[in-house]
Amino acid sequence: MLPTRSLGPFQVSAIGLGCMNLSHAYGQPPALAQAEQLLLHALDRGVTLFDTAALYGFGANEELVGKVLSPHRSRFTLASKCGLHGVPGEDGKLKRVLDGRPATIKASCEASLRRLRTDVIDLFYLHRWDKKVPIEDSVGAMAELVKEGKVRCLGLSEVSAGTLRRAHAVHPITAVQTEYSLWTRNPEIAVLDACRELGTAFVAFSPLARGFLPGTLKDVSALVPTDLRRSMPRFAPEAYAANLTLLPALQAIADEADCSLAQLSLAWLLQRGEHVIPIPGTTQIAHLDEDLGATSVQLSEQQMARLDEIVNVASVQGGRYNAGSQAEVDTETFGEAG
């Protein structure tokens, strides 16, 4: 079985599963049968943290997780998110909306419970802080869901240390979820330490840098037009070509450690702190098995230091989000007060 880490009152596998790309973001999702097989394989391998959201596939991902995993509900910790979801536009098509008002949060929770086929969500995140609504109001509504027994614990995604502290004063925050990997180091500015201080778990999404760190994505021009990465500056052709030059030095360390690039990257994260829980996502069982193998990789202090020297804020080219997406997040940014 996999080693475990603490997530509030839960003991979960040290590596969880991000379910997003089974329905959303990276081009054409896999066939339903393939997605179902992957979820069940993860469960059989000992993964006990499954992460979804109302936004992913505009509810389709929660429906998938509910259909496949609800018969096994007692075997895992279920996380979902509110605050970002789809609403019909003038053309009748669903569009992405950020809305952290208390009434919207409560309605979103009810819809998620139905799609997930469960009576309670173990960990309910605010997917993004809607800055038009005080964080205290959004978290206050979420706290009422805890009192009603519909949610067990609360989380926040993409927030700063200051916002975490404000929210934590209203209701204990069990987890903060933010992008964190060798090439995204923003959490190291403040929120990673704030989580450690408050006893809050840090859940690292995109721990493999959206396909960059495993070294398998060589040609970004081959990404389909709907792929989320096409809007990200780091994946622009010139920046990405520069970033690819970092991989040979990483591969040398992976060879020393007798592991793959993906395992090296996840092992680095696991050694950043006992409160760090990566949630890589994949559509391939072979990739899932490879990722879980990172729990057996132990890196030396020298190897950890060399990794920091190779991939860091100065060496990575391009921002992680475009201007529109960056405006929606509350995480600290290098070069700014936070």
Q: Kindly list the distances between the CA atom of residue 126 and the CA atoms of 26, 152, 168, 175, 300, in Å, as whole numbers in the listed order.
A: 22, 14, 13, 11, 36
Q: Which of 56, 180, 240, 321 is catalytic?
A: 56
CA distance 37 to 68: 9
Residue 56 annotated as catalytic: yes
CA distance 234 to 35: 28
Which residue shows structure tokens 């998620």?
A: 112
Q: How far is CA 32 from the centre of its chain?
A: 22
CB-CB contact of 190 with 161 (8 Å)? yes
Indicate the angle between helix axes 135-147 and 161-170, nearest 10 degrees: 40
**Number of other residues whose CB lies within 10 A of the CB of residue 149:** 9
Name, in order, each residue with C-beta under 8 angstroms of 156's C-beta and a sequence gap of 6 or more: 125, 126, 129, 139, 163, 164, 167, 173, 175, 176, 177
The residues annotated with a catalytic role in the active site are 56
